[in-house]
Amino acid sequence: MSPIAPAPASVPAMDDMPSPTGAKTLALLDLLARHGTGLTLAEVTRRSGFTQNLVFRLLKTLVIMGYAMQREDNKAYALTNRLLQLTGPRTGERSLAFCAHEALRNLRDETGETVQLVIESGGKALVLEQFRGTHALQVCGEVGMRIPLYSCAPGKAILASWGESPLAAWFREEGKTLKKFTERTLARREDLLPALENIRRLGYAVDRAEGVEGIHCVAAPVFDHYRQPIGAITVMAPINRMPEEEFPAFARRCQETVERIERKLKG
């Protein structure tokens, strides 16, 4: 599983497109993707340069098809996770997100903590699915959120599963110095590489408040039937509910969840 190249910075002129309406629909998807909290009809019209009537019709179509939603509080339009479900990893005709859904929910119910299905996208860790925990105080993110691979347990689980060539390419892309988010972030190659080797040995990864202060995570990689890494399952919690001595127990639950998902992927 190698890093995915970013989308092109420029888009061909609309007049050059075989289907201008299709191109404008994709342009609106791209615009909404860059504004996660949503945009109103007036904002989409102003930013896109399209007529308000066309924008309204295209947004209405996206909502009906399930690619966008209109928020009740401010009537802004925002993307759903429909595109992530379509473009997420697959084994044959089986979607990773679909096969993981029930197992993730069970893991959340067993632990009471927030669980996520994470994949690699564009050299980052991307949250493909999430089940919020049941405690009053919860740690959670958002579906579609991107996180540096090296600063979270699922990202490190994915990195540790890569072969030598894609891992070297990722390091070249990231540069010599990685950003530190906390005092424990493994922001140097000489610190990260031994940690990845340890993850391979153990079969799971941990995050000792390396991305966010006060938050621990444990993760296990998911493989397809060719033993290629396609994602990771993670449980996250405040330190007091996931002390380091509990890492192995949480890891076992993650690994058992991965086994259920992989069996479903195989059919």
- Where do the CATH 1.10.10.10 domains begin and end in the chain? 14-80
**The pTM is what?**
0.69
Indicate if the pLDDT at residue 146 is higher than 90: no
Q: Class assignment of domain 85-266? A: alpha beta
Q: Which of 8-22, 215-229, 236-250 has the highest mean pLDDT?
A: 236-250
- Where do the CATH 3.30.450.40 domains begin and end in the chain? 85-266
What does residue 179 show for φ and ψ, rounded to 5 degrees?
Answer: -75, 140
The topology under which CATH files domain 14-80 is: Arc Repressor Mutant, subunit A (1.10.10)
Region of poorest pLDDT, from 112-116, 124-128, 146-150, 255-259: 124-128
Listed as own residue / partner, the contacts of 200-205 with beta carbons closer than 8 Å and 24 or more positions apart are 200/160, 200/161, 202/251, 203/251, 203/255, 204/157, 204/251, 204/254, 204/255, 205/153, 205/154, 205/156, 205/157, 205/160, 205/232
